[in-house]
Amino acid sequence: MSTPLIKLEDVNFYYNRGKPSEAHALKNINLEIERGGYVAFFGPSGCGKTTLTYLIGGIETENADEGHIFVNGRDLRGLSKKELAVYRQIGVGIIFQQFNLLPSLTVLDNVALPMAFLGVNVDRRRKEAMKLLDRFSMTKYAERFPSELSGGQQQRVSIARALANNPPIIIADEPLGNLDSENANKALEFLKELNEKDGRTIIMVTHESWSLRDAKTIFYLKDGEMIKKEQPEKKKVAQKTLSDHLYRNLFPEVTPERLMAHSLSYMLMRGFSGEEIKRFEMFLSKRLECIIDTPTFIDFLDSPFKDGGVGLWKQRAQKIALIAEDIVEKRKKIEDIYKDLEKDPETPLYEEVAKMRAWLLEDYKGLLSDIQIVRFDEAVEDRFRNIISPENFRQVLELSRTDFGVGLAPGTVRSVSERLETILTGKSYQVFN
Ligand code: ADP
Ligand code: MG
């Protein structure tokens, strides 16, 4: 595998370290950005987005006293001052929310300025700058000053300037914040074009979800921590397979309830004869399909075998009935969810997922942190939507927190996964005995 273009390893960053005003702005950040990628840093104001771009842009590297910031395999923190200055000039182009244009320079000279740092002569600078302005349909404003332009126009100038030295990485820090929707759309189009046509690696920083539309990877930040990594394209593709998987691929007569009854019967009735298990399965199917109610179900379980029942002890019959009840209820929930998803695959599932979490973790003695909850819910939702396999689901739950996992113990992972799979597909329910 090729080295990622950008790789952060265990990066911590403090403002005013050791002073009463100390702010731990970035906490154990690990991330990788591929060459030619389009990623977003997404999160509320103050979560550390700008700080993160400063580090990647080589602006605050001397204070990043923990961790590594690799660009092209080289640690920025190992660069000399001079090397770092060169990297800032030709390695990255930053587009700021406030545009940061110099008010005393014309539009043309603003765009040409970064080339001056590289010692390009003035004629050549202006010629190249003019080409860039042309690309953004801004040539006729070349001799104006920034204050004579609209917000959208200033933004285009600032994008042109970021491109002046042909940097492979473009960082756009809240680039749409000061724009109306039309200009914001245009700016997004420019960024997309830079990514797709010019092969630039784009880092888009935003707190507004609508501006994430072109990002292939979204890193979620909260209070200085990277809490989630999402790849929306993969989600869309997977969603298409959802209904296929759940309905059409199953034989029409083999309902999820029957599958469920089948696998549950063998577990719940371990040690009984084949005949007894078969009969039990028939009643359990009927109960799961809501053809019979709970008291009737218990009656059948309880009645002697020769009278058409299963011949269980009363206590056992009741316990099993409770389990069946629980599953019927959860199963109904799931069906409602799938009906909604069939109608609109974008249906939010936050509430259902949160309820499901409570049930899945019923026997869990520990306490999950905010980040663990976010990731747990995300994994459950992805499983609902059939974006990930049962195997992936278990991996996410078990992976450590630094690897974007939940970090649960193997035993907990197994029991959670078994519960979830039983109500999703009717397979593998081994929690009960
Ligand atoms: P964002 O861009 O997501 O809004 P920032 O990276 O600007 O977040 O800020 C992250 C945290 O660091 C915030 O808590 C902020 O108050 C703090 N911070 C940012 N800049 C400074 C600074 N120059 N001095 C002290 N604290 C700062
Ligand atoms: Mg910011």
Sorted by where each starts, the structural domains of the chain and their CATH numbers stand as 6-231 (3.40.50.300), 232-347 (no CATH), 348-433 (no CATH)
Q: Which ligand is nearest to the CA of 13?
A: 1
Q: List all residues whose CB is within 6 A of at least one atom of ligand 1.
A: 15-16, 23, 25, 43, 45-51
- pLDDT tens for 365-418 read 889 998 889 889 988 988 887 777 788 889 889 988 777 789 999 989 988 998
3-state secondary structure of 216: coil
φ and ψ at 134, to 5 degrees?
A: -60, -40
- Minimal-distance CA residue to ligand 1 atom 13: 46
Handedness of CA 388, 393, 397, 402 (dihedral sign): negative
Q: Which ligand is nearest to the CA of 29?
A: 1
Q: Which ligand is nearest to the CA of 177?
A: 2
Note the helical H segments in 142-223: 151-162, 181-196
Q: Which ligand is nearest to the CA of 44?
A: 1
54 Cα nearest atom in ligand 1: 6
pTM for this one?
0.61
- Minimal-distance CA residue to ligand 1 atom 25: 15
Ligand 2 center to 360 CA (angstroms): 37
**pLDDT at residue 431 in the model:** 35
**pLDDT at residue 247 in the model:** 43
Ligand 2 center to 192 CA (angstroms): 21
**pLDDT at residue 243 in the model:** 42
Cα separation, 243 vs 333, in Å, equals: 16
Cα separation, 104 vs 98, in Å, equals: 16
- Minimal-distance CA residue to ligand 1 atom 5: 48
Cα separation, 104 vs 334, in Å, equals: 63
Ligand 1 center to 50 CA (angstroms): 7
- Minimal-distance CA residue to ligand 1 atom 10: 48
Listed residue (190, 185, 191) closest to 203, CA to CA: 191
Best residue among 51, 208, 226 to mutate for probing ligand 1, ranked by most atoms within 8 Å of CB: 51
Ligand 2 center to 110 CA (angstroms): 23
Q: Which ligand is nearest to the CA of 55?
A: 1
Nearest 5°: the CA angle 390, 395, 400 is 155
**pLDDT at residue 252 in the model:** 55
Indicate the angle between helix axes 122-135 and 151-162, nearest 10 degrees: 130
Cα separation, 138 vs 180, in Å, equals: 18
3-state secondary structure of 313: coil
The token duo for 419 is: 């519960």
- pLDDT tens for 184-225 read 888 899 899 999 988 899 999 998 887 888 999 999 999 999
Ligand 1 center to 264 CA (angstroms): 54
Contact indicator for 40, 218 with CB cutoff of 8 Å: yes
- Minimal-distance CA residue to ligand 1 atom 14: 46
Beta strands in 34-104 (DSSP E): 38-42, 66-71, 74-75, 92-95
- pLDDT tens for 288-304 read 888 898 899 999 999 99
Q: Any residues with CB less than 8 A from the CB of 86 and at least 6 apart, and which?
A: none
52 Cα nearest atom in ligand 1: 6
**pLDDT at residue 328 in the model:** 75
Cα separation, 183 vs 190, in Å, equals: 10
- Minimal-distance CA residue to ligand 1 atom 22: 15
Separation in Å, CA 34 to CA 31, 222, 306? 10, 23, 68
Helices and strands: H and E segment counts in the chain:
15, 10
Nearest 5°: the CA angle 199, 205, 210 is 95
What pLDDT tens digit does each residue of the chain (433 aa) get? 568 999 999 999 999 888 898 999 999 999 999 999 999 999 988 999 999 999 999 987 666 668 999 999 899 988 888 888 889 988 999 998 888 899 999 999 999 999 988 888 999 999 999 999 998 889 999 999 999 999 889 989 999 999 998 899 999 999 887 778 888 888 899 899 999 988 899 999 998 887 888 999 999 999 999 998 988 876 655 554 444 444 444 445 666 677 778 767 876 787 888 888 899 999 988 888 888 988 999 999 999 999 999 998 888 888 888 887 887 788 778 878 888 877 777 778 888 889 899 989 988 888 999 888 988 998 898 888 777 778 888 988 998 877 778 999 998 998 899 888 877 876 544 433 2
Best residue among 17, 26, 50 to mutate for probing ligand 1, ranked by most atoms within 8 Å of CB: 50
41 Cα nearest atom in ligand 1: 3
Cα separation, 228 vs 402, in Å, equals: 10
